[in-house]
Amino acid sequence: MFAIFFKKNELRTMSLLTKIASQSFVAKSDLIATLETTKTTLNRDINELDTILKKYPDMPQILNHRNHLKLLPGKKNYNINSLLLVVIHLYLQNSYSYQIIQTLVTSKKILLQDFCEKIAISKSYFMQVLANLNDYLKEYHLQIKIKDNTVQFEGPIENIFFFSFLMMDAHTKLFHMHDCHYVKTLQDVETKLAQDINANFNPVNTRKALNLYYQFELYKDELEAMVMTNPDSFDLTKIFEEFYPIFDAELPDQYRAYLSFLVNISFTQLRNEEQHIKTLEKLNHHKHPLIIDAAEIANVMLTLIPPLPPSQQTIFKGTIITNFIYLLTFNSELKRPFNNVQLLRDILDEQERHVPVNLKDKLIQQEFKKLNLNNLLPLFFEHLSIFEYVLEIFYWQNTQTKLHIYLDFENSIIFEEHLKNQLNQLFNKDALIFDQTDDSPDIIVSDQLYKTDQAKYFFYYASIQSETLLEELLAFLTKIYFDKRKDNLAAKTKKSTLFI
């Protein structure tokens, strides 16, 4: 979603920053190729980024040397994330589309004239920005309308409320700001929680609780009317609340189930894993027709990935069922624009990655069509990406890429053992295999320089005293590990049906 808040040149500038910050020296010719731009445009973007960084003397500065670029360290230590946030903050503060959304999220409705004065925009340009925003929001069954000279969201109240909460949470995550009284709000939230919910929220849940409460105070009348007007629409969230209550009975029935479901799909670590699995087992066997159908779809999906242990199968099925309840409640993927993967793609124009199972494959879809579930299959096929993401998570949890390393230190067997121990400490032990008898390792690391066809990669470790060589080796191993993992995934992706 965040791509709609930035201009094209701003997106290029942020992408340029990440490329420069992630390498010691980067050639302009490489940037022109990777960013798919021209020399003139690149130079303009470099000047733009240089101007921004010079506003902050403590930050790293650009060294533009001949045909190469480098970030010189600043007085304070900034990583790529903190550098990018500085630029994002600057651009969002000057983005009319972002200011429009954020003003509505915090104000609910506002007079058009007051709105234009607040963000210093003409009415004609306001309408132009509004048209672009509405074109994007229609996928989520939301629009921004002007009625009786008042600007407000229009659409299902459950979508307006959830979108406003997610947008406010994204804003506070980026800007670390809260417009409500911190302590009093948390106390009010705690008094409404069910007994088995741990009120000692972690920092993420604390932020979410403050934002949820803010939106609740804005929309509680509309939420109550929503359920009274269409009570049958929330049967599934009521069933979900039977197993995973969040708020106590003092909160009105009309919207308690809806809010409990929203918290369960948005917050983290609300219950211990053992209790969570036991409860999911009961939910997975509920007799509601839609839950039964969702469980059948989950069973077919389980055949597409390597076998999971029983506890993981329970969590997998519960996740699929929960996603169907989520889609049926909001009739769209409201969370998708706000997840970290989507934010990265929007801001940096990241390419779609390989998925372990392609649910768009005709052979795989035939397996689902055999179920003849006319109620859920259209919804499933409409939102395949959300289910592919679940498959990807569980696939990688149970699939381990292993890097085979041959250490060959003729001059120092002691250092060889020391290096092996260091690598095992820095990497997951299960990811590295050290075997001197391996005929085809992924990489040979040696203090001797020689030609060999035995391994795909060779790293010459000339001096055991060199810290720089150790840093280079760690970076090199990380690169070839992820290259191998990507190659393995690509090879499996070509086989449309992995385990059918």
- From the CA atom positions of the chain, what is the Rg in Å? 27
Closest C-alpha to 12, from 39, 40, 49: 49
Does the residue 229 lie in any domain? yes
243 token code pair: 């197993």
Q: Is 106 within 8 Å of 179 (Cβ atoms)?
A: yes
- On the CB side of 83, how many CA atoms lie within 13 Å of its CA? 30
- Domain match, 286 and 303 both: yes
Looking at the 3D structure of the chain, how many domains does it have?
A: 4
User: What is the side-by-side strand order in the sheet with 26-27?
Assistant: 26-27, 68-72, 61-65
CA 471 to chain CA mean position, Å: 29
- Domain match, 289 and 179 both: no
Cα 393 to Cα 300, 309, 353, distances in angstroms: 16, 15, 13
- Domain match, 277 and 246 both: no
Distance of alpha carbon 245 from alpha carbon 193, whole angstroms: 9
- Domain match, 410 and 393 both: no
- Domain match, 467 and 387 both: no
Does the residue 153 lie in any domain? no
- Domain match, 374 and 312 both: yes
Q: At 27, which CATH number?
A: 1.10.10.10
Closest C-alpha to 40, from 30, 28, 22, 54: 28
Does the residue 195 lie in any domain? yes
Does the residue 187 lie in any domain? yes
Q: Going residue by residue through the chain (500 aa), what tens digit of pLDDT does each one get?
A: 777 898 888 988 988 888 888 777 889 998 898 888 899 999 999 999 999 998 888 888 888 888 888 888 887 777 777 888 888 889 999 999 999 999 999 999 999 999 999 999 999 999 999 999 999 999 999 999 999 999 999 999 999 999 999 999 988 888 876 544 456 666 777 777 766 665 556 778 888 888 898 899 899 899 888 877 777 778 899 999 889 888 877 778 778 889 989 988 888 777 778 888 999 999 999 999 999 999 999 999 999 988 889 999 999 999 999 999 999 999 888 888 877 655 566 555 555 556 678 899 999 999 999 998 888 999 999 999 899 989 988 887 776 788 999 998 887 888 888 899 889 888 877 788 888 777 789 999 998 887 777 788 999 988 888 888 888 899 889 888 888 877 776 655 444 333 33
Q: Which of 20, 52, 77 is the last residue of a domain?
A: 77
- Domain match, 294 and 380 both: yes
Closest C-alpha to 129, from 104, 147, 148: 104
- Domain match, 347 and 384 both: yes
Does the residue 83 lie in any domain? no
Does the residue 51 lie in any domain? yes
6 token code pair: 């930035």
- Domain match, 369 and 416 both: no
Q: Is 17 within 8 Å of 71 (Cβ atoms)?
A: no
Q: Which structural domain range is residue 227 located in?
A: 171-263
Q: pTM of the predicted model, to two decimals?
A: 0.79
The amino acid occupying position 431 is: A
Alpha-helix residue ranges (DSSP H) falling in 252-383: 253-266, 273-284, 289-302, 310-330, 340-348, 362-369, 377-382
